[in-house]
Amino acid sequence: MVVIFDMDGVLMDTVAIHWKAYNDLLQEKFGVTVGNEDLANLIGMSLGEQIPILNTKFGINIDAETFVPLADKRKEKFMDKLVPKDGVVELLRSLKDSGVKMGVGTSTSRITAEQRLKNIGIHNYFSVIVGGEDVTIHKPDPEVYELVASQLGVKPEECVVFEDAPNGIEAAISAGMKSVGICTTYTTGEKLSRADLMVNSLEEVTLETIQMLLKRK
């Protein structure tokens, strides 16, 4: 049994921080704001992938080379406020004590992911961290989760993925893995309905929950 976590929005609430920074900048530069409904369709993509969608949606012309560094610089001001989401540390500790292998598969760059995981004190729980630069195609393509499984030396059917985004759930399904959808203010149960299980928080998840999920046909 292997457990794979998306990072942003699952292990830490970086999504809220990202979009506070991005929306502030979008409002300043273009007079637009991305609401929760649109945000649900963007979660799991890199900012570089999101920009063409935002340009089309709002009829604006964001220049990625200019906007991305500004957005990244702005959001970093908020990152010192990051903490693990509710239930994260308890679940990770329980899984580690039971000998369960764990990995992270994220669209965020691996270097950034490693630093943030270290900053909130949970980096050492993960044997493998795969970031955006390690894959050629991002979620909903399954490559990121297939690569985590490959590096851990396990088959896809041995893996359970924790995700907060529809694209991430689709990636897990395409990889042949079980999935748990974490409901948030921007991704409700309806958006995550293709997950094998939906929860409101990792506080609801135990080792037994994961074991039962893997036994399902």
Q: Where in the sequence numbering do the catalytic residues fall? A: 6
Nearest one of 192, 193, 197, 195 to 208, comparing CA atoms:
197
Please classify residue 185 by burial: count the beta carbons closer than 10 Å to its beta carbon, then call 0-12 exposed, 13-18 middle and 19+ buried: exposed
Q: Are 214 and 158 in contact (CB under 8 A)?
A: yes
Tokens (6 digits) for 210: 């994961």
Cα 91 to Cα 118: distance, rounded to the nearest angstrom = 17
Strand partners, 216: none
Cα 160 to Cα 78: distance, rounded to the nearest angstrom = 31
